[in-house]
Amino acid sequence: MTARSIPRSHIRTARLNLRPTSSSDAQRALEIQSDWDVARMLANATYPADRKDMENWFASHEQEWAEGTAYRFAIEREGRVIGIVDVDGIAADEGSLGYWLERAAWGQGYAFEAAQALVGFAFSEVGLSSLVSGRAADNPASGHVLTKLGFTQIDSRELFSRSRGETILQCRYMLAR
């Protein structure tokens, strides 16, 4: 699939504004991932969260967007960034859905609302045919979000979690357009 030129537009949902990320989001992301309960569910996160890593990662987002390999959005609720939702690892016509929210925003349906909008974006704007996602076996809330979005669990595998410093069991999911 050839990368399409997708405008860096906001996506608005009933309660949220999804805004393409930029370097200036690194500080807020650092705060959110400094919570162990968030970081331990993210296999690629470092714990404690590392400022330089975070700045470098956010600095690469505009380039990823231009290349069509990842589309990442800050989730804003009443002007405050409460988390990140993204589709990354885009190759051929498949990508991987991810999301993480600050603890204070959990349990209010925001992950589902933001992820549902991203699924629509991935299929309609990016033109993907399928999405994959994965969650730690001990993260049932994320499994619930994925199931509500229509994802089906395909398998589970052992995966090294950078944040936990150990191998965990990851449940993998798929959703076709």
Residue ranges binding ligand COA (CB under 6 A): 38, 41-42, 99-101, 106-112, 135, 139-142, 144-145
Distances 48 to 29, 82, 89, 175 between C-alpha atoms, Å:
13, 19, 25, 33
Nearer to ligand COA, 107 or 150 (CB): 107
Looking up tokens 């009443």 gives 78
CB of residue 85 vs ligand COA: minimum separation in angstroms? 9
CB of residue 66 vs ligand COA: minimum separation in angstroms? 26
CB of residue 42 vs ligand COA: minimum separation in angstroms? 6
Nearer to ligand COA, 68 or 134 (CB): 134
CB of residue 4 vs ligand COA: minimum separation in angstroms? 27
**CA–CA distance, 57 with 61 (Å, rounded to integer):** 7
CB of residue 129 vs ligand COA: minimum separation in angstroms? 22
End-to-end CA distance of the chain: 16
**CA–CA distance, 29 with 119 (Å, rounded to integer):** 22
- Quote the distance between the C-alpha of residue 35 and its chain's center: 17
* Alpha-carbon torsion, ordered 100, 105, 107, 111, to 10 deg: -40
